[in-house]
């Protein structure tokens, strides 16, 4: 019989809590990307095809994928290192520059055979018109060298976040998980795909509803969801599953325990990157010694704030407090 509880209390953050976050050390590993935004105006249709003509007025570049996870952790004051892949190109150099500006330690491997992953979004009238993705599968020898660096960096951190966007950077994640477990690290995974067996043994996974449905199928009731989640948690040897549920908030499944927290978003403007904010906030809080319940509540608050912003974004302490 599992106990089900609802978190209703507010998270109190004081100077000591902020200082504890600043002492945490995390390693983010995964698919590093550059998010590009072309903002413009559109008031006419092209004579060449039935598509809008957009006159570009502003261009913005932001860290994306695993780099956005790292950026979110750094915005909370944590000491963050990142391990991933980039191409030998302008986009890769821009990623490294932006990481340095955020005081994030970068251990990016350069793969000369592929471009840096770029997601280009064209936005007009507060709406995303199209997204263009530039990506290729990384070379295996570069991935193997990344595995060696991962093992070298483990002693310096308290926790590891694997940000899996299914782009190939985490081909050796089972080996990395075993190394992190042997070193006694807290391990977080933002999962991708329908095969979660590769994440066996981690501390917690943070799927959204559609991602979890790919693995356990649909559910009709909360009781059915709880049973399916427990079956998955037990089979993979996880300590917890944190399910992000958009307007329904979040649910944390642990052994003999289900905890819900309601959504806090005032207005949902853009959900891109919200999962990055949730996992980084949860990871920093747990690494700082917070309880599961309080870490979940803080991550929920952070996620509710970030979906009110356009594009991949971060949350500051001022906003959380």
Q: Which residues contact 170 (CB under 8 A, 6 or more apart)?
A: 29, 30, 31, 162, 164, 176
**Calpha distance 175→246 (Å, rounded):** 32
Spot the catalytic one: 190, 260, 270, 276: 276
Q: Considering just the CA atoms, what is the radius of gyration of the chain in Å?
A: 20
Is 270 catalytic? The answer is no
User: How many whole angstroms separate alpha carbon 40 and alpha carbon 304?
Assistant: 27
Beta strands in 172-239 (DSSP E): 186-190, 204-205
Between the alpha carbon of residue 206 and those of residues 70, 89, 149, the distances in Å are 16, 32, 25
Distance between CA atoms of 192 and 163, rounded to whole angstroms?
9
CB 40 within 8 A of CB 74: no
Task: Give the number of other Cβ atoms within 10 Å of residue 126's Cβ.
Answer: 9
Active site residues per annotation = 276
């Amino acid at each position: 019989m599992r106990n089900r509880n609802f978190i209703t209390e507010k998270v109190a953050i004081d100077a000591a809590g902020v200082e504890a976050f600043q002492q945490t050390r995390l390693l983010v590993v995964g698919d590093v990307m550059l998010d590009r935004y072309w903002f413009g105006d559109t008031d006419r249709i092209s004579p060449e095809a039935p598509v809008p003509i957009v006159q570009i007025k502003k261009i913005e570049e932001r860290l994306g994928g695993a780099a956005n996870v790292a950026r979110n952790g750094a915005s909370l004051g944590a000491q963050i290192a990142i391990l991933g892949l980039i191409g030998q190109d302008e986009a890769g150099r821009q990623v490294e520059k932006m990481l340095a500006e955020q005081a994030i330690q970068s251990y990016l491997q350069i793969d000369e055979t592929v471009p840096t992953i770029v997601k280009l979004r064209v936005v007009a009238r507060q709406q995303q018109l199209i997204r263009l993705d530039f990506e290729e599968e990384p070379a295996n020898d570069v991935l193997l060298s990344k595995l060696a660096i991962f093992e070298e960096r483990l002693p310096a951190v308290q926790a590891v976040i694997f940000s899996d966007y299914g782009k190939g950077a985490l081909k050796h994640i089972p080996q990395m998980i075993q190394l992190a477990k042997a070193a006694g690290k807290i391990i977080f995974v933002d999962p991708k795909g329908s095969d979660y067996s590769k994440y066996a043994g981690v501390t917690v996974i943070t799927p959204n509803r559609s991602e979890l449905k790919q693995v356990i199928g649909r559910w009709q009731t909360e009781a059915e969801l709880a049973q399916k989640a427990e079956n998955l948690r037990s089979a993979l040897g996880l300590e917890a599953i944190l399910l992000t549920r958009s307007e329904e908030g979040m649910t944390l499944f642990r052994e003999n325990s289900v905890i819900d927290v309601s959504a806090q978003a005032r207005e949902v403007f853009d959900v891109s990157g919200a999962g990055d904010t949730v996992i980084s906030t949860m990871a920093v809080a747990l690494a700082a010694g917070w309880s599961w319940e309080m870490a979940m509540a803080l991550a929920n608050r952070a996620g509710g704030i970030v979906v009110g912003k356009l594009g991949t974004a971060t949350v500051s302490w001022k906003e959380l407090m």
